[in-house]
Chains A and B, each alone.
Chain A
Amino acid sequence: AQSVTQLDSQVPVFEEAPVELRCNYSSSVSVYLFWYVQYPNQGLQLLLKYLSGSTLVKGINGFEAEFNKSQTSFHLRKPSVHISDTAEYFCAVRSTDKLIFGTGTRLQVFP
């Protein structure tokens, strides 16, 4: 069965610092990977996706992620965070019709 692991439940970081949110997946078949962001009291918004092709995927709001098949990882990165990036970030893998989500990482950006 496919699954996703987000090792960090919380990541505190100062504004303008770089950040990496880690995601590892397990899958025996082709993977389709996604990162979603959830701002307080809001729904899930797609940041970026990997379906095939280039392993470096660029998304919205300056985020990017790299698909690494050998390490079964899909880490999310941003070179310089803003206060407004404070949110919950979910990694997800597509399995048949559904998305399987990780437990989420709370990114807290401090001034």
Chain B
Amino acid sequence: EPEVTQTPSHQVTQMGQEVILRCVPISNHLYFYWYRQILGQKVEFLVSFYNNEISEKSEIFDDQFSVERPDGSNFTLKIRSTKLEDSAMYFCASSENRLNEQFFGPGTRLTVL
């Protein structure tokens, strides 16, 4: 069964450093998403991406964040200068269209020291 994959599973970084989180969505899906879950809290939407551009973003997704689909398979989330409060589990998701269910990857745990 096709699935969303994410790398790395765990990333540790120093405050102020740049990180890139990688995702490979399901191959025939057209909509891509990033969510995050701070420890003990609910899952929060960050950004959605369709047709090579951002279709929606939350207040959390400020200028420190960017997304890219550099090739036909990868979807990345970059945080330019990490802060302590960026520590969270980051989930990538994809869907065939806007109405269908979103399939989630296993997540990348980001720890900012």
Contacts and interface: CB of A to CB of B under 8 A. Distances in A.
Partners in one complex: yes
Interface of A: 32, 34, 36, 42-46, 49, 51, 90, 92, 94, 96-104
B94 to A, nearest CB: 12
Given A43-B106, A44-B43, A103-B42, A98 B56 contact: yes
Interface of B: 4, 31, 33, 35, 41-45, 48, 50, 55-56, 58, 91, 93, 98-99, 101-107
A100 B104 contact: no
Contacts of A101: 42-44
A90 B98 contact: no
B54 to A, nearest CB: 10
5 contacts: A36-B104, A42-B106, A46-B102, A51-B99, A99-B43
Q: Which 10 A-B pairs have the closest CB atoms?
A: A97-B48, A98-B45, A44-B104, A43-B106, A101-B43, A97-B56, A43-B104, A103-B42, A101-B42, A46-B101
Given A42-B106, A43-B105, A45-B104, A99 B99 contact: no
Given A46-B102, A46-B103, 9 more contacts: A42-B106, A43-B104, A43-B106, A97-B50, A97-B55, A99-B35, A99-B45, A103-B41, A103-B42
